Amino acid sequence: MKLNELGAVVTGGASGLGAAAARMLAQSGVKVTIFDLDRERGTETAREVDGQYVSVDVTDEDSVRKGFDQAARSHGAARILVNCAGIAPVGRVVDKSGEAHDIGIFRKTIEVNLIGTFNVLSIFASRLASVEAIGEERGVIVNTASVAAYDGQIGQCAYAASKGGVVSLTLPAARDLAKHQIRVMTVAPGIFITPMLVGLPQAAQDSLGQQVPHPSRLGQPDEYAALVKSIIENPMLNGEVIRLDGAIRMAPR
């Protein structure tokens, strides 16, 4: 799919991997709408990419539908969806004081990372299904999972479960949407420089980077964005999860 002049929606596009994807798409001539709850950063990134920001809660159907309505009014039907919205709380099954995991935190993580991803994916696809195809496809969805889906660490039960769900829905969603000529792919990043990691001391960041076999450093958001671009442009990439991780396999802690 050629990128120029298409409309795209990036959830979680205010910062981190989502912002990098938004910048890449804009540089490729795509008209970008950012869905995020961080109004300040979202507005700033939208201005940077000459796109628009919409305050959207990915877990709320009505909020997502209104977001797509606004995106369509400004940029036409979105043909590209990049799902980056997510949270990453930490909590052990049983904490050091012997207390059980806060089920509210577990539920919230599944709600945002898994249900939110599917909610946006489903609404996006339902709208795109009635839009005329461009050649052999109508559009493409790129979800964001994590290597935690495969080797989650201590304290990551909620996060790993949510990202494992995103991994597992990739193939059946691609099969479901094949008749509508909509592709579904997922990227599972390893340890990338994101707002969560930037807050760590430099020594801690360096230590994390050294765990990566090659290259022995943290991933750059632009490298995630480059893979997203390749996925969009290659019509044979469908129904698969790609680990983007420098060959790392996470240790228990």
Cα 85 vs. chain centroid, distance in angstroms?
A: 6
Q: What residues does each domain of the chain span?
A: 7-243
Q: What would the CATH number be for the domain defined by 7-243? A: 3.40.50.720
Strands lying side by side in the sheet with 31-36: 52-55, 31-36, 7-11, 78-83, 139-144, 182-189, 241-244
Catalytic residues: 159
Return the closest-CA partner of residue 248 out of 144, 150, 161: 150
Is 0.85 surpassed by the pTM of this model? yes
How confident is the chain (253 residues) per 10-residue block, as mean pLDDT?
Answer: 90 98 98 98 98 98 98 97 96 95 97 98 98 96 97 95 98 98 98 82 84 95 98 98 96 88
Render 8-35 in DSSP notation, one character per residue.
EEEETTTSHHHHHHHHHHHHTT-EEEEE
